[in-house]
């Protein structure tokens, strides 16, 4: 069945499925080391950091959760169209053992959430050392 031309090609629904599909219900995360800190950046444009973002440490992992909602209405060619999108998004990043949770900081600027985690101070037992190889 062909749709009238004003609805676009009959395969256009494929774009809608993939644009809003389950695989998009996440956000991009970047993790790197900066001196004595782990830096995690999350791409979260269009959210209010005061009410839409939560940062927790649970079970040895940094858990970032966000909620996003947006709506759009338009009236064109005697057709009223209203769209809305909403959803919850969560990502977790494993943290190294011994991280001091009280030293986490989180900032949000220009759609990017940045979380800094101080790396644990290595004890003498965990420090790297070279082992001498002897001939047998």
Global pTM exceeds 0.75: no
Q: Is the pLDDT of residue 1 over 50?
A: no
Closest alpha carbon to 84 in 94, 74, 99: 74
Tens of pLDDT, residue by residue over 20-66, are 444 445 789 999 999 889 999 999 988 889 999 999 998 889 999 99
The enclosing H or E element of 116 equals: strand 112-118
What are the structural domains, with CATH classification, of the chain? Answer: 27-118 (2.60.40.790)
Tens of pLDDT, residue by residue over 83-126, are 776 788 899 999 988 888 888 999 999 999 999 999 887 654 55
């Amino acid at each position: 069945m062909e749709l009238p031309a004003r609805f676009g090609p009959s395969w256009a629904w494929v774009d809608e499925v993939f644009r809003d599909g389950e695989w998009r219900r996440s956000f991009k995360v970047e993790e790197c080391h900066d001196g004595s800190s782990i830096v995690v950046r999350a791409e979260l444009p269009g959210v209010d950091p005061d009410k839409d973002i939560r940062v927790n440490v649970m079970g040895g992992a940094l858990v970032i959760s966000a909620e996003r909602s947006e709506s759009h209405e338009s009236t064109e060619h005697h057709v009223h169209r209203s769209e809305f999108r909403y959803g919850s998004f969560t990502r977790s990043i494993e943290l190294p053992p011994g991280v001091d949770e009280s030293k986490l900081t989180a900032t949000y600027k220009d759609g990017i959430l940045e979380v800094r985690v101080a790396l644990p101070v290595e004890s003498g037992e965990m420090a790297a050392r070279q082992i001498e190889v002897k001939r047998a």
